[in-house]
Amino acid sequence: MNKTIGVLVAVILLAGAVIGFYMMQEEPPEIPPEPVVKAPPAPVIPVKPVKPPPPVQETAPPLPQLKESDPVMREALSDLLGADTFNKYFRPGEIIRHIVVTIDNLPRKTAAARLFPTKPVGGKFRTGGDEENLVISPKNSSRYTPYVRIAEMVDARKLVAVYSRFSPLFQRAYQELGYPNGSFNERLITVIDHLLGALELKGQVKLVQPNVMFQYADPSLESQSAGRKILMRMGRENEIKIKGKLREIRRELADQFSKQLSAK
């Protein structure tokens, strides 16, 4: 139980104890009623009818259905990131579903790039060395720089506020993904913690190319999840920056969930 809930419970118990104390006291002796004196009737003054006040509008409009949520999500993310940034780097359709399925897949062995909410990273994967000693080129990290800059400029509190507003739709998408009794809030925290556990590679990272796709030469690296591999191939500096933002988001999520629990 967090401190906020504990304080509320203490206040409720204290109030209940005080009320109970006074209710358990002996009843006061009866006091005879004073004689009733009838006053002359007051003159009737016509009252001018007053128009009822206009209805108070809700602070936030009701949420649309999940299948109709793309326009409001585009607007919310454009306000957060800027319209140009959103149009350049994000896919405009099935936004919530793509976010949910991608987050759910990041701790798994594979994550389908066609379902990512963002557009593919431009440029070709850069390597160094020769066929016998392939390594990830230090220049490869520059491909991810625009995405890292976007992540750094996002206000974690505002981002979590957007998520909190639309969380029922994220939950619906998660249930439709095959988790009717699951909690997307819990899954999101679990995935963030998983990504924070990614290795921060130093020096040259060796590769092999058994087919079209490159793989890590070290089996312990190749066996990592799709999400951790994405972080590791960004380059150590980019990875550290992304992890820093993930920690900010996690703190805001934990604070938001705590407030929701305290309000219950």
User: For residue 255, what pLDDT is reported?
Assistant: 84
pTM, entire model? 0.74
CA dihedral angle for residue 154, residue 194, residue 145, residue 140, rounded to 10 degrees: 180
pLDDT tens-digit map of 76-97: 999 999 999 999 999 999 999 9
The alpha carbon of residue 83 and the mean position of all alpha carbons in its chain are separated, in whole angstroms, by 20
Residue-wise DSSP of 201-264: --S--BEE-SSSS-EESSHHHHTS-HHHHHHHHT-HHHHHHHHHHHHHHHHHHHHHHHHHHHH-
Q: Is 153 helix (H, G, I), strand (E, B) or coil?
A: helix
Bridge partners (DSSP) of residue 215 are 208
Pick from 255, 73, 248, 72: nearest CA to 151: 248
pLDDT under 70: residue ranges of the chain = 1-60, 257-264
Bridge partners (DSSP) of residue 208 are 215
Q: Whole-angstrom Cα distance, residue 30 to residue 33?
A: 9
Q: Are 169 and 96 in contact (CB under 8 A)?
A: yes
Q: Are 95 and 185 in contact (CB under 8 A)?
A: no
Bridge partners (DSSP) of residue 216 are 207
User: For residue 187, what pLDDT is reported?
Assistant: 96
pLDDT tens-digit map of 165-189: 999 999 999 999 999 999 999 999 9
User: For residue 263, what pLDDT is reported?
Assistant: 61
